[in-house]
Amino acid sequence: MVALKKQGLQTVVFNNPPVIVASACMAGPKEAQGPLGQTFDKTIEDLYYGEKTWEKAEQKIFQETLEMAINKSGLKAQEIDFLLAGDLTNQIIATNFTARNIGIPFLGLYGACSTMYEGLALASMLIDGGYAEHVLVGASSHYATAERQFRFPTEQGVQRSMSAQWTVTGAGAIVLAAQGEGPRITRATIGKVIDFGEGDASDMGAAMAPAAADTIIRHLLDTGRTPGHYDLIATGDLGKYGRELVVRLAEQHGVRLSDTYQDCGVLIFHERQDTHAGGSGCACSAVVTCGFLLNEMIGGKLRKFLGVGTGALLSPCSCQQGETIPGIAHAVAIEI
């Protein structure tokens, strides 16, 4: 039996491309001071956001962001068929507790920092397949919750290596619909887990870059497109060193990524903010996409965009046991 909507080895084509009818994003104080600060719907002044713990603050940020996206869509929560979302904290608790309060049928996702784009790909399949009319997709992360879980508590004041990235505090959400006006998701390339043997949890850009390069190359091969087909190709959170590695890996396969290739982890912070290699986390691609990039599309500055969500599939347990860090990347083509 032929998969009628499959193109090449890993790409699916949407015959009835889902429409992005609304998006929303919130970000933390450091992100607000960055070059994209004016593109966020709301920013907070401190990492606690009026709560007793950072974990509760992340949940509050996420819930407000999802509610903003629903309100902007003009829909009621009961008109949304499914919520697809995830975060980085143990057993995606920020998402689970938020879903408890939102009350929409829920599919929890964990793709590490690729979760937003994994959600967009799956939501598009649900809509194009006729299983849903409206799907809410979201992802969140928080600097302090991620540091405490994956590295060291911030109170310890541990010296960060120059290859380390700064986990973005914030959340992004998108409402997809079967009909409407707005940018459309036309294709999605589902990535494979790639492991080049990187084991340094302070250099996740290097761990994720091979998966990002593999997915970009596969998307181009499957679709017959060139990098120049897109006004912008943006990976999720490789940072400046991971971005450079993607360019080199692509060149080894005869693919020259032009000046239109960028990374959300590079875009979100100024060099002077001393985030070392740039931004990371589920919220990195989520807030840049839901704020800056979709604004650029709606404003007519971008017509065709390829977003590549990137994730490092590590856990505290795997790091402590000396495992390497596998990477994953999922590509979603958004066109207007």
Q: What is the pLDDT of residue 163?
A: 63
Last residue of a domain, one of 161, 177, 193: 177
Residue 255 shares a structural domain with residue 295: yes
322 burial (CB, 10 Å; 0-12 / 13-18 / 19+) is exposed
Show the tokens assigned to 304.
């065709």
Distance CA 114, CA 307 (A): 10
Report the 3 state secondary structure along 187-233. EEECCCCECCCCCCCCCHHHHHHHHHHHHHHHHHHHHCCCHHHCCEE
CATH of the domain at 70: 3.40.47.40
Residue 143 shares a structural domain with residue 96: yes
Residue 29 shares a structural domain with residue 168: yes
Instruction: Tell me whether residue 14 is in a domain.
Output: yes
- The backbone torsions φ and ψ at residue 83, rounded to the nearest 5 degrees and listed phi first, read -110, 125
Domain coverage including residue 153: 6-177
Number of helices (H), then strands (E), in the chain: 11, 15
Distance CA 143, CA 131 (A): 36
Q: What is the pLDDT of residue 259?
A: 81
Last residue of a domain, one of 151, 177, 203: 177
Show the tokens assigned to 191.
């990535």
Residue 227 shares a structural domain with residue 167: no
Instruction: Tell me whether residue 48 is in a domain.
Output: yes
Apex CA 176: angle with CA 174 and CA 181, to 5°?
105
Q: Which residues of the chain have pLDDT under 50?
A: none
DSSP SS3 for 304: strand
| Beta pairing partners, 310 | 329
Residue 194 shares a structural domain with residue 127: no
Residue 247 shares a structural domain with residue 193: yes
Residue 167 shares a structural domain with residue 190: no
Residue 329 shares a structural domain with residue 247: yes
Structural element, H or E, at residue 305? strand 304-312
Contact assessment for residue 111 and residue 56, using Cβ atoms and an 8 Å cutoff: no
Residue 260 shares a structural domain with residue 329: yes
Instruction: Tell me whether residue 305 is in a domain.
Output: yes
Residue 131 shares a structural domain with residue 36: yes
Domain total for the chain? 2
Query: Per-residue pLDDT tens for 273-287?
Result: 888 778 999 999 999
DSSP SS3 for 186: strand
Instruction: Tell me whether residue 268 is in a domain.
Output: yes
Instruction: Tell me whether residue 260 is in a domain.
Output: yes
Contact assessment for residue 131 and residue 98, using Cβ atoms and an 8 Å cutoff: no
Last residue of a domain, one of 144, 177, 210: 177
Residue 241 shares a structural domain with residue 326: yes
Instruction: Tell me whether residue 212 is in a domain.
Output: yes
Residue 52 shares a structural domain with residue 124: yes
Instruction: Tell me whether residue 124 is in a domain.
Output: yes
Instruction: Tell me whether residue 1 is in a domain.
Output: no
Q: What is the pLDDT of residue 157?
A: 64
- The backbone torsions φ and ψ at residue 173, rounded to the nearest 5 degrees and listed phi first, read -150, 145
